Amino acid sequence: MDRRAIAISGIVQGVGFRPFVHGLANRWQLSGFIRNVDGGVRIEVEGDPRALDGLLDALIQSLPPLARIETLDWSSQPVQGDRSFRIDPSATDNGVPIFLPPDVGTCDDCLAELFDPRDRRFRYPFLNCTHCGPRLTIIVGSPYDREQTSMAAFAICEACRAEYENPSDRRFHVQPIACPECGPRLQWLDASGHPVSGIVDPIGAAVEALNDGRIVAIKGLGGYHLAGLARLSETVAELRRRKHRDEKPFALMVRDLDAGRALCEVSAQEGALLHSPRRPIVLLRRRPGIEIANDVSPGDPWLGLMLPYTPLHHLLMHDLGGQALVMTSGNRSDEPIAHEDRDAVERLSGIADAFLIHDRPIHLRCDDSVTRVVAGAELPIRRARGEAPRPIRLPIACDRPMLALGGQLKATFALGRGPHAFLSHHIGDLDHCLSFAAYEKSIAHYERLFGISPEVLVHDLHPDYASTRLAERIAGDRPRIVVQHHHAHIAACLAENGVSGPVIGLAFDGTGYGTDGTLWGGEFLVGDGNDFRRAAHLRPVALPGGDRAIHEPWRVATSYLIDAGEDPSILGDDVATAAIEAVARMVERRWNAPMTSSAGRLFDAVSAIAGVRRRVSYEGQAAIELEWRAAEVNDDGGYPFDIGPGDSPGTSWILDTRPTIAAVADDLRLGIETARIARRFHSMMIDAILEICVRLREETGIGSVAISGGVFLNAILSAGAIARLEGEGFRVYRHRLVPPNDGGLALGQLAIAAARLRNGGG
Ligand code: ZN
Ligand code: ZN
Ligand code: FE
């Protein structure tokens, strides 16, 4: 007989960990107890030493799907002669869970019940268990029990209670436990949001409406979706028209992996992502000739697919007989996704022909996550449902609790406590007032849920970001740490890789505020998680019209052409000569034309010159479509470029793009196909990245490179840069957990602030 005390930290509360250990202890005939403690669980077990070893092995090897062990320590204890194994009530809890699980897609066990006519939850659209179901989106406050979730209004029935209280049941202490007797119910509403009388089967009504080509608003986990059959051109075109959704692609839901493979090429790795409990939207290469309406994603060689992740989705997709469904977030263009019932009906009436809703409130709005596989690893695009608020371990722990407010676009924020960063779900662009309201509300909500009262605030250097202004407004006498935008990008990449530098950091994005007051965005920083210097950057050009240039890439193209000594009238086929001349004057007189070294704008400019896109309906569209074209041909070498000496202290090199732009203009005049121009430009960027990194390594001896910034969502650029850098012996750090775009900024801000506090600065 032996007794051991085992202390485990990590995501082990609210994920079925205690019943799991209870089951193991019974299997190995061990006695003792398990209880929740601050940040983890404490187990004491006694019995045969070999059985104790077996339990420890099983703990590590066969965890419940949602559990994550961070640390496990054990020590021997005097034997106490317990007779059985028990689960202690959480009397020692201080009421605040250290970790909260994200929402999780329906598990296989629940799915089997859903389609089993003998099960009491047969076709019940809200079944869930320890291993799956809603979490973050239904939690109202702490401690995490039923009274503090949006299930509080549903009185639990006797059958459910028996499961809830049985430690060997899959639904032991599952807060959202529900069944047809006691749980949420569906409702079918007409276009104006009124219940339709006489409907006994709302799913049947929805399937019929969808098959008739109608647009149905469907209430999901973190918000409403607008749905329509993906093969019906008129339906999808009508949805796009009613939603005012410019040209951003719509995501599709497919019944299962096989249905996904029928539409797209799906590698084993992509299949695993699609099928993972997180159930993100995965960007996949579409197959030729598939029966999908053109308006789903016009001209796009990729399709965003996801699998059903709630029982309701599974029932719908099953009853639709395998037809793919457009599932786009329920909002008008640029607004946050609708999640409150009355608000949803109000905002979506005029878009939806009918509503499939239910009476379980969504407490926290949360979009679908979006991701893709690049160079053999996941590259997240939007981190939201299924991922947030899973903690990320910081390389340097926060000595004081902190709040990092992130950026302006694709906003997220992050709370830091000790070694953990809790990065919020994607919220949206803060220049929209509804998004800003959601952002402010979510910050308060996370602070309450995690019991974190920030003593330090961290924000971007940009004085006009809504996040910066909020930090100033709420700081009071709390210190603020200000972080340069591109430094935060690099620090985010380092943090998720668990390192703190030194590194050569490539931060390529739209724009961010530089320490010299100009707009940066094509930066080679040398530094670490604490400080940096701007070692090299793209040659700055004027950005005529400032933000207007984002939607009219021909403006920045004009600027680049003038800079390279080329005649901007070559843009003339679809931009008025007078407009080009007006912009040329702005550039020459530096009137409303701030200087920028943005890599994103360079991609825009080349896209516009090559004739891929001269006007766009959303930021980054010109660059994205340039990548589509580049993928159509093979590499035959890159355009020329120059590397000149730096023009300010600390800056060693400037990447001079004038030869590049001149060569693009030459190819255009020669009538070279746009795909070829696009490819040669991508190759030039990869060549230039390698050349500058080699020079900086010679200068500094630093052989590690971190790549970050939204431009690195470009798969050709990322994969090419990684392969060439690794080929030259560099160690390359890239994003796998958080997006390289501004959705990851808050994590980097937090990492830098933690490092500065540790160094006594700040
Ligand atoms: Zn389940
Ligand atoms: Zn029940
Ligand atoms: Fe950025």
Q: Residue 144 pLDDT > 80, yes or no? A: no
φ, ψ for residue 409 (rounded to 5)? -100, 150
Average pLDDT over residues 47-68: 88
Q: Residue 511 pLDDT > 90, yes or no? A: yes
Highest mean pLDDT among 310-319, 445-454, 609-618: 310-319
pLDDT attached to residue 14: 74
pLDDT attached to residue 665: 97
Q: Are residues 507 and 491 in the same domain?
A: no
Write the CA distances from 546 to 2, 430, 510, 556, 710, integer angstroms.
Answer: 72, 18, 12, 9, 19
8 A C-beta contact, residue 326 and residue 187? no
Whole-number Å distance, alpha carbon 133 to ligand 1 midpoint, is 7
Whole-number Å distance, alpha carbon 122 to ligand 1 midpoint, is 13
Ligand lying closest to the C-alpha of residue 598: 3
- For residue 586, what is the domain's CATH number? 3.30.420.40
Q: Residue 86 pLDDT > 70, yes or no? A: yes
Higher pLDDT, 339 or 610: 610
Cα distance between the two ends of the chain:
54
Whole-number Å distance, alpha carbon 680 to ligand 1 midpoint, is 50
Q: What is the spatial distance between Cα 90 and Cα 492, in angstroms, rounded to a whole number?
A: 36
What domain range is 12 assigned to?
A: 2-87
pLDDT attached to residue 140: 87
Q: Are residues 414 and 339 in the same domain?
A: no
Q: Residue 694 pLDDT > 70, yes or no? A: yes
Q: What is the spatial distance between Cα 594 and Cα 609, in angstroms, rounded to a whole number?
A: 21
Ligand lying closest to the C-alpha of residue 154: 2
8 A C-beta contact, residue 574 and residue 623? no
Among 265-269, 573-577, 689-693, the range scoring the smallest mean pLDDT is 573-577
pLDDT-based confidence at 97, cuts 50/70/90? low
Write the CA distances from 557 to 570, 578, 601, 641, 717, integer angstroms.
Answer: 10, 15, 9, 17, 20
Whole-number Å distance, alpha carbon 68 to ligand 2 midpoint, is 29
Tokens for 292, please give them.
């999908």
Q: What is the spatial distance between Cα 329 and Cα 108, in angstroms, rounded to a whole number?
A: 26
Whole-number Å distance, alpha carbon 705 to ligand 3 midpoint, is 18
Asked whether residue 145 is assigned to any structural domain, the reply reads no
pLDDT-based confidence at 92, cuts 50/70/90? very low
Q: Is 685 exposed, middle or buried (0-12, 13-18, 19+ CB in 10 A)?
A: buried
Q: Residue 91 pLDDT > 50, yes or no? A: no
Asked whether residue 55 is assigned to any structural domain, the reply reads yes
Q: Are residues 391 and 289 in the same domain?
A: no
pLDDT above 70 as % of the chain: 98
- For residue 427, what is the domain's CATH number? 3.30.420.360
Of the candidates 495, 511, 371, the one whose C-alpha atom is nearest the C-alpha of residue 749 is 495
Q: Residue 190 pLDDT > 70, yes or no? A: yes
Among 49, 68, 87, which residue terminates a domain?
Answer: 87
Length of the chain, please? 762
Whole-number Å distance, alpha carbon 151 to ligand 2 midpoint, is 12
Whole-number Å distance, alpha carbon 159 to ligand 1 midpoint, is 17
Report which residue type is found at 166.
N
Task: Check residue 99 and report its DSSP letter.
Answer: -
pLDDT attached to residue 36: 79
Whole-number Å distance, alpha carbon 147 to ligand 2 midpoint, is 16
pLDDT attached to residue 628: 96
Average of per-residue pLDDT values in the chain: 93
Whole-number Å distance, alpha carbon 681 to ligand 3 midpoint, is 22
User: How many separate helices (H) and strands (E) can be counted in the chain?
Assistant: 22, 29
Statement: the pTM of the whole predicted model exceeds 0.85? yes
pLDDT-based confidence at 660, cuts 50/70/90? very high
pLDDT-based confidence at 333, cuts 50/70/90? low
Whole-number Å distance, alpha carbon 125 to ligand 2 midpoint, is 13
For the chain, the helix, strand and coil percentages under 3-state DSSP, each to the nearest 5 = 35, 25, 40
Q: Are residues 353 and 400 in the same domain?
A: no
Higher pLDDT, 509 or 141: 509
Q: Residue 522 pLDDT > 80, yes or no? A: yes
- For residue 208, what is the domain's CATH number? 3.90.870.40
Average pLDDT over residues 506-526: 96
Burial readout 98-124 (b: 16 or more C-beta within 10 A, e: otherwise): bbbbbbbbbbeebbebbeeeeeebebb
Whole-number Å distance, alpha carbon 384 to ligand 1 midpoint, is 20
Q: Residue 89 pLDDT > 80, yes or no? A: no
H or E element: which one contains 49? helix 49-61
pLDDT-based confidence at 168, cuts 50/70/90? confident
Whole-number Å distance, alpha carbon 109 to ligand 1 midpoint, is 6
- For residue 43, what is the domain's CATH number? 3.30.70.100
pLDDT above 90 as % of the chain: 78
Average pLDDT over residues 257-285: 97
Of the candidates 352, 379, 236, the one whose C-alpha atom is nearest the C-alpha of residue 298 is 236
Of the candidates 310, 321, 148, 154, the one whose C-alpha atom is nearest the C-alpha of residue 229 is 321
Ligand lying closest to the C-alpha of residue 180: 2
Listed in sequence order, the residues at least 6 apart from 150 whose beta carbon sits closer than 8 Å to its beta carbon are 138, 140, 360, 361, 362, 363
pLDDT attached to residue 447: 95
pLDDT-based confidence at 25, cuts 50/70/90? very high
E-state strands within 137-249: 186-189, 216-219, 224-229
Q: Residue 693 pLDDT > 90, yes or no? A: yes
Q: Are residues 517 and 493 in the same domain?
A: no
H or E element: which one contains 655? strand 653-656
Tokens for 344, please give them.
């949803």
pLDDT attached to residue 90: 62
Asked whether residue 513 is assigned to any structural domain, the reply reads yes
Whole-number Å distance, alpha carbon 310 to ligand 1 midpoint, is 10
Whole-number Å distance, alpha carbon 108 to ligand 2 midpoint, is 20
Ligand lying closest to the C-alpha of residue 183: 2
Asked whether residue 485 is assigned to any structural domain, the reply reads yes
Tokens for 559, please give them.
């600027």
Higher pLDDT, 253 or 83: 253
Q: What is the spatial distance between Cα 127 and Cα 312, in angstroms, rounded to a whole number?
A: 9
Q: Residue 16 pLDDT > 70, yes or no? A: yes
8 A C-beta contact, residue 99 and residue 10? yes
Whole-number Å distance, alpha carbon 127 to ligand 1 midpoint, is 7
8 A C-beta contact, residue 21 and residue 43? yes
Asked whether residue 386 is assigned to any structural domain, the reply reads yes
pLDDT attached to residue 586: 92
Q: Are residues 729 and 593 in the same domain?
A: yes
Sign of the C-alpha dihedral, residues 651, 741, 625, 376? positive
Ligand lying closest to the C-alpha of residue 127: 1
- CB under 5 Å of ion ligand 1: residues: 107, 110, 129, 131-132
Whole-number Å distance, alpha carbon 452 to ligand 1 midpoint, is 30
pLDDT-based confidence at 95, cuts 50/70/90? very low
Distance, CA of 459 to chain centre: 20
Among left, alpha and beta (phi > 0; psi -120 to 50; other), residue 168 is alpha
Question: Any bridge partners for residue 446, and if so which?
Answer: none
Ligand lying closest to the C-alpha of residue 489: 3
Asked whether residue 95 is assigned to any structural domain, the reply reads no
Q: Are residues 493 and 508 in the same domain?
A: no
Whole-number Å distance, alpha carbon 182 to ligand 3 midpoint, is 47
Please tell me whether residue 724 adopts helix, strand or coil conformation.
helix
Asked whether residue 618 is assigned to any structural domain, the reply reads yes
Q: Are residues 461 and 509 in the same domain?
A: no
H or E element: which one contains 449? helix 433-450
Report the domain count for the chain: 4
Of the candidates 98, 182, 179, the one whose C-alpha atom is nearest the C-alpha of residue 143 is 98
Q: Residue 93 pLDDT > 50, yes or no? A: no
Asked whether residue 687 is assigned to any structural domain, the reply reads yes
Ligand lying closest to the C-alpha of residue 410: 3
Average pLDDT over residues 223-236: 97
Whole-number Å distance, alpha carbon 386 to ligand 1 midpoint, is 14
pLDDT-based confidence at 128, cuts 50/70/90? very high
Whole-number Å distance, alpha carbon 171 to ligand 1 midpoint, is 8
Of the candidates 51, 70, 53, the one whose C-alpha atom is nearest the C-alpha of residue 13 is 70
Q: Are residues 558 and 453 in the same domain?
A: no
Q: Are residues 665 and 580 in the same domain?
A: yes
- For the chain, the C-alpha Rg in angstroms (whole number) is 27
Angle subtended by helix axes 553-563 and 599-610, to nearest 10: 90
pLDDT attached to residue 761: 58
Whole-number Å distance, alpha carbon 13 to ligand 2 midpoint, is 23
8 A C-beta contact, residue 80 and residue 57? no
* CB-CB neighbours of 323 under 10 Å: 18
Average pLDDT over residues 55-83: 88
Q: Are residues 483 and 537 in the same domain?
A: no
Among 113-127, 507-521, 553-567, 568-582, the range scoring the smallest mean pLDDT is 568-582
Among 57, 87, 117, which residue terminates a domain?
Answer: 87
Q: Residue 724 pLDDT > 80, yes or no? A: yes
Listed in sequence order, the residues at least 6 apart from 19 whose beta carbon sits closer than 8 Å to its beta carbon are 87, 130, 167, 168, 169, 170, 172, 173
Whole-number Å distance, alpha carbon 127 to ligand 2 midpoint, is 10
Tokens for 551, please give them.
């939607």
Among 87, 122, 151, which residue terminates a domain?
Answer: 87
Question: Any bridge partners for residue 304, and if so which?
Answer: 251, 283
H or E element: which one contains 706? strand 704-708
Q: Could you tell me whether strands 541-542 and 595-596 are parallel, antiparallel, or unpaired per DSSP bridges?
A: antiparallel
Q: What is the spatial distance between Cα 453 and Cα 679, in angstroms, rounded to a whole number?
A: 50
Q: Could you tell me whether strands 731-733 and 704-708 are parallel, antiparallel, or unpaired per DSSP bridges?
A: parallel
Distance, CA of 197 to chain centre: 40
Higher pLDDT, 175 or 100: 175
Tokens for 689, please give them.
């990245």
pLDDT attached to residue 15: 81
Average pLDDT over residues 671-695: 98
Q: What is the pLDDT of residues 338-369, one digit of tens each?
A: 777 788 888 898 899 999 999 999 999 999 99
Tokens for 546, please give them.
């400032």
Q: Are residues 200 and 333 in the same domain?
A: yes
